[in-house]
Structure 1
Amino acid sequence: MSLIHSDNLTPKPWTDIFTDDTCIDRRKCHRKVPMKVLALGVGRTGTASLRKALERLGYVKCYHMMAASVENPPDCLMWHDALIAKYDGVGEFGRKEWDQLLGDCQAVCDWPACAFAKELIEAYPNAKVILTTRDVDSWHASVMKTVYWRVSDPEHKFVSNFSWAAGMYYPMLNKFFETFFRGDFPNQGKQVYQDHVDEIRRLVPKERLLEYSIGDWGPLCEFLGEEIPDTPFPRGNDMADFFSRCRTRNRMQMLNSALQAVTMGGALVATGLAATMAFKRFVR
């Protein structure tokens, strides 16, 4: 088996009818629009709301973890390749690959993108950079109850053994936590958060950087040179919604897998019957 995960993309099973995932092979894509905004704050700092806000301002697609987890799961294979290239030194992941993965996006936010702050800043030197921030204690508590729970969720792990989509997402999500959070989010998470903030401040000139606490159009629009919309600032991905969405996702993937198993079982039975009939005709 190839060490490059994106070499192992398999077609979406036709039995995956309970989810709306797409199966776009990003390796066949290229940059269509310029990258304008790199939002490099870690997840659970309002990144889902920021995604909605940037798209409301007219930025063509803002990439977010949900683009890989529930929209186009094959993206997870490329993110996994990026992680092993950076942290394990296996393979290469440079501007060409970023343009393939993010080529139809003018903005990117959330994780796993935040793990590649340096690489994305170097790849897109003309993009403005946003650093979403939050009180580190409340942030850590939020992640423990949401995304870290998702990483350690036994049901999610179980589903990943059978589901086409979860089989790509679950390993990538775990690889991200093992590498970016040094394999110990409960004890290392807060320090990684602070180290990440410090790194962004070192990497980005002040005139290109907005340190931003989600909730007000003003600072965001001023920084980007956009007019303030006449609609409230969007909200998204609160804790209750996170749990509900993940549980529903698990159930739908289980149904996909069950339908595939039943279909394969039926095909095997049909094949067996056909073989038996052919044998009987042969021995007559």
Structure 2
Amino acid sequence: MAKQGRLLSTGGAEQKGDDEQQDFMQQAKASSCQEHPRAAIPEVPAGPLVISAGWGRTGTSSLKVALDQLGYSPCFHARFMPYITDLFDAMYDFAEGRRPDFPAKQLFRQFNAAVDIPAPLIPLVLEAYPDAKVILTVRDPEKWYESYISSLLWLYQTWLFKPFAYILPMGQKLQAIGRWWLVWEFGDDTMLDKDACIKAYLQHNAHIRATIPPERLLEWEAKDGWGPLCRFLGHSAPKKPFPRKNEGASEMAWQIVRFIMRNPLAAMGLIKYQHKGPLDFDAV
């Protein structure tokens, strides 16, 4: 937890009391009801116009699909890391200390939006794109914790994943990134201390609230649906229902298996994978 605490303190964020957090949420939702200008979405991306600063398991999959439907494709989501070879390899090298920095501006330039960003990279992506609109996806802390340990942590620690992680280069990279991700967030890769994990989650949210200008920030829950999101981005709400996407542990595991089955040489590190087509939950 020490590393997380140092990071937050450098941003000047302090943990807010319950009353202050409630006041902020009310103000954020009120401001999100105002119309915002819509930025033109380029055919060739020049970097994220929209960045989700919320941690995983806070509705990021639903938000990714919603942003795709609003025209912000390609949209980054951590589920697709094996398909984004340049970013995946750079993230692994950065996590393992093989490179001193992570070129967030260069590597995220290929996206019009970015959600479910690995937690250690969120500050770097926000710094690289200071004009992007920021969405803080939030969830009840207790439900967030239970969802995190039953999906991401389970996938990282399950014995089913171990042979893949030890045998295939792709698995070794995912294992290393997963541990780096968890240690950065919580100080270890077990998440056994529930109170400490929830405290870290709340501190992260407080840090985002304290450092992102209110006019650039929307605090959003998946249950809020199209309304606040579209007003914040300057879009008319689609007539179709808001997408509800919940990628659990089994779906994540199957996605990894599917990649290996379809791209065995790339999974073994014998060739460099080159993805073509959209990064779509139903296609890859």
Distance 1:229 1:115, change over 3 A: same
Are positions 1:60 and 2:66 aligned together? no
- RMSD (Å) for aligned C-alpha atoms: 2.7
Which residue number corresponds to residue 11 of structure 2?
none
Within a 5 Å distance, the mapping from 1:226-265 to structure 2 comes to: 226-239=235-248, 242-247=249-254, 249-250=256-257, 253=260
**Structure (1 or 2) with the larger CA radius of gyration:** 1
Contact 2:133 2:217 in 1 (8 A): yes
Distance 1:248 1:227, change over 3 A: closer
Are positions 1:78 and 2:86 aligned together? no
Which residue number corresponds to residue 105 of structure 1?
111
Q: Report deviation, 1:73.
A: 5.2
TM-score under structure 2 length normalisation = 0.69
Contact 2:105 2:128 in 1 (8 A): no
Contact 2:49 2:133 in 1 (8 A): yes
Gaps of 5+ in 2: 1-43, 269-284
Q: Aligned residue pairs: how many?
A: 220
Q: Report deviation, 1:100.
A: 3.0
Within a 5 Å distance, the mapping from 1:104-183 to structure 2 comes to: 104-112=110-118, 114-183=119-188
Partner Cα separation in structure 2 for residue 120 and residue 252 of structure 1: 26
Distance 1:206 1:83, change over 3 A: farther
Contact 1:68 1:74 in 2 (8 A): no
Partner Cα separation in structure 1 for residue 144 and residue 60 of structure 2: 12
Which residue number corresponds to residue 275 of structure 1?
none
Counterpart among 212, 223, 233 of residue 220 in structure 2: 212
Partner Cα separation in structure 1 for residue 264 and residue 124 of structure 2: 37
Match of 2:51, SS? strand
Are positions 1:49 and 2:62 aligned together? yes
Contact 1:40 1:117 in 2 (8 A): yes
Partner Cα separation in structure 2 for residue 72 and residue 172 of structure 1: 14
Query: What letter corresponds to residue 108 of structure 2 in structure 1?
Result: L
Match of 1:161, SS? helix
Gaps of 5+ in 1: 1-30, 262-284
Match of 1:165, SS? helix
Tell me which of the two structures has the higher relative contact order, counting C-alpha pairs closer than 8 angstroms and 6 or more residues apart.
Answer: 2
Partner Cα separation in structure 2 for residue 124 and residue 255 of structure 1: 34
Partner Cα separation in structure 2 for residue 59 and residue 49 of structure 1: 14
Match of 2:110, SS? coil
